[in-house]
Amino acid sequence: MRVSITEAAVPPDEWKSKAHTMLNALPDGDFLCHGDFHPDNVMMTSGDPVLIDWPGAKKGIPAADFARTLVVLMTATLPAHIPMHKRLMMNAGRALFTYTYRRRYHRITQVHEDYVRGWMPPVCAARFNENPGDDLPALHRLMAKLVNEN
């Protein structure tokens, strides 16, 4: 994450510096983390859902992986060719998924929301280095909000 924050071309150095400072205050971890969990990486089967696309897996802290999923859900932009009525339905579905996923995560893990919130700025800063494409404006808005909160 440190390398991704440093190499990200878009965010101002002030944001990167703040993200590094916050990241340095957070613990390292040895848990297996997916690194790119979002609904597109869940395959529905006749049995249980299956998590796919593991090339970004790494060891770390599960709360950081969860924070990255929240950043993706909060900043993902739907393609422009999707009709407005479908966009509205998809955004409502995403909001419901995010709300449900967040509540369930906190209930199962007992991890406090403030701890996850502490991971958000470093994760968001690192996401700039992932070629976010059309998500860049939303990512920029989220990072500005996170920097102003902390």
Domain boundaries defined on the chain: 2-25+61-149
Helices (H) and strands (E) in the chain, counts: 6, 4
CA separation for the pair 74, 44 (Å, rounded): 23
**In 10 A of CB 70, how many CB atoms?**
21
**pTM of this structure:** 0.88
Helices 136-149 & 113-127, crossing angle to 10 degrees?
130
CA separation for the pair 100, 103 (Å, rounded): 5
Quick one: average pLDDT of 129-149? 92
pLDDT in tens, 2-53: 999 999 988 899 999 999 999 999 999 999 999 988 888 999 999 898 999 9
CA separation for the pair 47, 44 (Å, rounded): 8
